[in-house]
Structure 1
Amino acid sequence: MDLRILEIASNTANHKIVKNHTHHSKNKNPLCGDEMEIRLIVKNDKIKDMGYQCRSCVYCQASVSMLSQKIIDQNISDIKSLIISIEGLFNETDIKIEKKWNDFKEIMNKDNISRKECLLLPFKTISKALKF
């Protein structure tokens, strides 16, 4: 296992319950049983806060940790663009994503293709919460 995955997953700053959330979603990976719950506060088409809880593998935890740090204060339209393109990182090395999302290339790549569904679960849960 990549030590960087463990390092990213260990940042649990947003592993919390957000009260007065405006958006909420639960999701489960049918392949491995990972479970994810996300609560968001959205104001003026921006994510103002995000909290997550999960019972999942370290890959899923790393993905949701990074996602939770990156999307706060981002526009909903930018997050939608990220979600649309993120799956392509597993297939293409030269995929074009906005520079602010480049950190995701570190974990969303061919080296982790066997954990693709685990890594994508937080994105699918956000997408469900925001009704994309």
Structure 2
Amino acid sequence: MNEKKIIQIAANTKSFGLEKKFPLKAKSKNKVCGDEISVEVNKDINEMRFETQSCIFTQASAAILANHLDKIHKLGLENVLDAIKKKLNGETVDLPIQIKDLDFLTHKDHKTRKECIALPFNAVIKAIHD
């Protein structure tokens, strides 16, 4: 595992910090490890903000999602999340979107962190559907 690369991805904090300016909000908790994330998403689902009390994998996943939310939403958040989970399980799956950092994060070596990586996606999906 390249911890330095994961830290570098998570260090992109331009979308970190809730500003209470977007109408769609959700909070999700990883039942496996206790990580928590709060998200707020604009009504067009192309911009988000987040705060976490979590591991570096959740933070990195949230940063990637925030930076590419518009493209990921257009492809279907649930579809992308399903592909991520399959890839983490070692299945030969091409992600429906080519994002270098997401491809790295979803390497099968990070299989044990699947729930951490999925947490931001689950939170945004919850915000949209609640």
| Shorter-chain TM-score tier | 0.7 to 0.9
**Structure 1-normalised TM-score?**
0.84
Matched residue of 2:51: which SS? strand
In structure 2, what is the Cα distance between the partners aligned to 1:64 and 1:99? 16
* 1:74 pairs with one of 48, 51, 71: 71
**Equivalence map 1:47-126=2 (5 Å):** 47-71=45-69, 73-74=70-71, 76-80=73-77, 81-92=79-90, 94-101=92-99, 103-126=101-124
C-alpha distance after superposition, 1:32-86 (max 9, x if no partner): 111100100022xxx2320000000111111111111111x33734132212322
- Percent sequence identity over aligned pairs: 29
Higher strand share: 1
Distance 2:81 2:68 in 1: 13
CA RMSD, aligned part only? 2.1
Call closer, same or farther: CA 1:26–1:17 in 2, change over 3 Å: same
- Structure 2: runs of 5 or more not aligned: none
The 1:40/1:105 distance shift into structure 2, 3 A limit, reads same
TM-score under structure 2 length normalisation: 0.85
What SS does the corresponding residue of 1:48 show, helix, strand or coil? coil
The count of residues paired between Structure 1 and Structure 2 equals: 128
Shift in Å, 1:117 = 1.3
Matched residue, 2:21: 20
Matched residue of 1:21: which SS? coil
Q: Which segments of 5 or more consecutive residues in structure 1 lack a partner in the other structure?
A: none
